[in-house]
């Protein structure tokens, strides 16, 4: 009888352990998307980089066809490619944590560009890692990140949000090639906040905001660049974003912008004082000959 009772207790313990693991896995807030075209060695390399292993987190695949769905028509064919290499790690964090992004072997898309686009897609409070086994542009990684976030958070991201977020990455990157990626990211983020805050809907109102902010940042934009940003903002404005949420999720991106604006105001103030002194000097000089 003693052996039978012991066996029953062992079976109960095993069932409890199995059930505990099932529920723990179900509640897991970490999801990894692996690129479909990785070989076994590259797959292991990425999992090691993410510090996870098979069976410990939910792993799903992302394909080139999925990436192409959101990039075709807005990204050059050479950036989209025929295969998918970028993978992603997404961990849902506590409320108010903001969005944190790390990248490995991503050469074209910056961490800040991902963060900016993720807010547009409705992602919040998440740790994100975009990685590849060798250097890639990273344009396709956003598809995997959004797919992983949906799985980890249980929240559905609309097709419109996904397409707009991908377009934002591409347009910011292209603008960055002309004015610098850091400036482009700060400009797009600041314009987005102001457009959402004011509810600017007409192209004329949006362009006024773009020109104003670009001027305050000492960024010279041509008509084509202004038009491109304006069209992007028209789409972003349809997503019903919240200004305060943008600011809270993008902690850090605006710090350099604020400093730049403050420095610019100080420079303008100094120039005004210098011009005023020169004007007074010449007025004083001219008054002697009257």
For every one of its 290 residues, what pLDDT tens digit does the chain have, with 9 covering 90 and above? 555 665 665 665 555 554 544 444 444 689 999 999 999 999 999 999 999 998 899 999 999 999 999 999 999 998 899 999 999 999 999 999 999 999 999 999 999 999 999 999 999 999 999 999 999 999 999 999 999 999 999 999 999 999 999 999 999 999 999 999 999 999 999 999 999 999 898 999 999 999 999 999 999 999 999 999 999 999 999 998 878 878 778 765 555 555 555 555 554 455 565 666 666 656 665 665 55
User: How many angstroms separate the CA atoms of 136 and 38, rounded?
Assistant: 13
The model's pLDDT over 51-106, given as tens digits with 9 standing for 90+, comes to: 999 889 999 999 999 999 999 999 999 889 999 999 999 999 999 999 999 999 99
pLDDT attached to residue 246: 82
Instruction: Count CA atoms closer than 13 A to 94's CA, side-chain side.
Output: 0
pLDDT attached to residue 290: 58
- CA distances (Å), 222 to each of 75, 178, 227, in order? 21, 11, 9
pLDDT attached to residue 249: 80
Contact indicator for 99, 52 with CB cutoff of 8 Å: no
Residue 213 tokens read as 């902010």
- CA distances (Å), 84 to each of 62, 141, 152, in order? 8, 9, 21
Q: Write down the pTM of the prediction.
A: 0.78
Question: Domain map of the chain by residue range?
Answer: 2-249
SS3 at position 53: coil
The model's pLDDT over 99-131, given as tens digits with 9 standing for 90+, comes to: 999 999 999 999 999 999 999 999 999 999 999
State the Cα angle at 172 between 169 and 173, rounded to 5°. Answer: 80
Instruction: Count CA atoms closer than 13 A to 78's CA, side-chain side.
Output: 1
pLDDT attached to residue 212: 96
């Amino acid at each position: 009888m003693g052996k039978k009772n012991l066996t029953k207790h062992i079976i109960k313990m095993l069932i409890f352990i199995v059930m505990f693991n099932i529920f723990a896995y179900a509640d897991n807030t970490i999801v990894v998307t692996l690129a479909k075209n990785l070989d076994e060695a590259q797959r292991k390399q990425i999992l090691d980089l993410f510090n996870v292993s098979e069976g410990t987190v939910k792993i799903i695949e992302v394909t080139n066809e999925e990436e192409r769905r959101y990039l075709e028509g807005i990204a050059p064919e050479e950036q989209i490619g025929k295969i998918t290499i970028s993978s992603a790690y997404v961990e849902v964090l506590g409320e108010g944590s903001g969005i944190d992004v790390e990248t490995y072997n991503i050469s074209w898309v910056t961490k800040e560009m991902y963060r900016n686009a993720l807010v547009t897609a409705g992602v919040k409070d998440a740790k994100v890692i975009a990685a590849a086994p060798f250097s890639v542009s990273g344009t396709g990684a956003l598809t995997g990140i959004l797919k992983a976030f949906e799985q980890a958070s249980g929240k559905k991201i609309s097709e419109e949000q996904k397409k707009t977020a991908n377009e934002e990455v591409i347009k910011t990157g292209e603008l960055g090639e002309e004015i610098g990626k850091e400036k482009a990211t700060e400009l797009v983020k600041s314009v987005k906040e102001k457009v959402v805050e004011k509810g600017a809907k007409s192209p004329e109102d949006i362009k006024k905001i773009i020109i104003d902010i670009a001027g305050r940042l000492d960024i010279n934009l041509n008509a084509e660049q202004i038009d491109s940003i304006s069209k992007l903002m028209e789409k972003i404005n349809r997503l019903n974003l919240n200004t305060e949420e943008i600011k809270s999720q993008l902690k850090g991106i605006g710090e350099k912008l604020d400093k730049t604006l403050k420095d610019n105001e100080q420079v303008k103030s100094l120039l005004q004082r210098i011009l005023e002194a020169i004007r007074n000097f010449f007025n004083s000089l001219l008054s002697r000959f009257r």
